[in-house]
Amino acid sequence: MTDFRHIAAASCDYTHFDAVIVGSGPSGSIVARTLAEKGCHVAVLEYGGLVSPGALHGPHQAAYSTALTSSGTADGKPWTACCVGGGMQFYNAITFRYRQADLSASRYLTTDMEIDWPITLQDLDPYYTEIEHLLGISGANGFPSYPASSRGLMLSNAMQTLGIRPKNIPLAIRPPGTSKGCTECSACDELACPTDARASVLARNILDDSALPGTITVLYGCFVNRIETRSDGRAEALECYVPLSSERIRIPVERVIVCANAIQTAALMLRSKSRHAPRGIGNESCLVGRGLSFKISGYSVGHMELTCSNAFVPHWGPHATVYTDEFYEHADVPCRFGGLIYEANFPLPDENVGLVRLHYIAGEEPWSHNRVVLDEAVDRYGIPYIRFEYRNSENDRARISFLADRADDILRHLGAFRIEREPFAHAKGSAHLHGTMRAGHDPGTSVVDSYGKVHGFTNIHVMDGSVMNFAGNSNPTHTIMANARRMALSLE
Task: Indicate whether 341 belongs to the interface with ligand FAD (CB under 6 A).
Answer: no
Nearer to ligand FAD, 24 or 215 (CB): 24
Kindly state the DSSP code that residue 398 receives in the 8-state scheme.
H
Task: Indicate whether 92 belongs to the interface with ligand FAD (CB under 6 A).
Answer: yes
For the chain, what is the radius of gyration of the CA atoms?
22
- The H or E element containing residue 488 is helix 477-489
Residue 228 in contact with residue 280, Cβ under 8 Å?
no
**Which residue in 4, 19, 25, 298 binds ligand FAD (CB under 6 A)?**
25
**Which residue in 42, 93, 288, 400 binds ligand FAD (CB under 6 A)?**
93
- Smallest distance, ligand FAD to C-beta of residue 73, A: 22
What one-letter code names the amino acid at 225? Answer: N
- Smallest distance, ligand FAD to C-beta of residue 320, A: 8
Nearer to ligand FAD, 224 or 373 (CB): 224
- The H or E element containing residue 258 is strand 256-258
- Smallest distance, ligand FAD to C-beta of residue 434, A: 9
Residue 17 in contact with residue 63, Cβ under 8 Å?
no
Length of the chain measured in residues:
492
C-alpha–C-alpha distance, residues 145 and 166, integer Å: 14
Phi, psi of 266 (to 5 degrees): -60, -40
- Of 234-273, binders to ligand FAD (CB under 6 A) are 259-261, 264, 268
Nearer to ligand FAD, 305 or 328 (CB): 328
Q: What does each C-alpha distance from 271 to 268, 340, 468 come to in angstroms?
A: 5, 36, 21
Task: Indicate whether 343 belongs to the interface with ligand FAD (CB under 6 A).
Answer: no
3-state secondary structure of 411: helix
- Smallest distance, ligand FAD to C-beta of residue 306, A: 32
Q: Helix 121-135 vs helix 477-489: angle between axes, to the nearest 10 degrees?
A: 110
Task: Indicate whether 83 belongs to the interface with ligand FAD (CB under 6 A).
Answer: yes
**Which residue in 66, 80, 156, 436 binds ligand FAD (CB under 6 A)?**
80
Nearer to ligand FAD, 105 or 242 (CB): 242
Residues 28-67, mask of contacts with ligand FAD (x by CB under 6 A): x----------------xxxx--------x----------
Stretch that binds ligand FAD, among 143-151, 326-334, 449-457, 476-484 (CB under 6 A): 476-484
3-state secondary structure of 56: strand
Task: Indicate whether 91 belongs to the interface with ligand FAD (CB under 6 A).
Answer: yes
Nearer to ligand FAD, 36 or 416 (CB): 36
**Which residue in 2, 10, 19, 26 binds ligand FAD (CB under 6 A)?**
26
Phi, psi of 19 (to 5 degrees): -150, 145
Task: Indicate whether 483 belongs to the interface with ligand FAD (CB under 6 A).
Answer: no
CA 252 to centroid of chain Cα atoms? 28
Nearer to ligand FAD, 189 or 329 (CB): 189
**β-bridge pairing 41-46 and 167-168:** unpaired
What one-letter code names the amino acid at 436? Answer: T
Beta partners for 68? 387
Write out the E strands in 149-229. Answer: 167-168, 215-220, 223-229
- Of 177-216, binders to ligand FAD (CB under 6 A) are 190
How many residues contact ligand FAD, by CB under 6 A? 41
Please, where are the H alpha helices in 365-467?
A: 394-414
Q: Which residues bind ligand FAD (CB under 6 A)?
A: 22-28, 45-48, 57, 79-83, 86-88, 90-94, 190, 223-224, 259-261, 264, 268, 431-432, 464-465, 475-477, 480
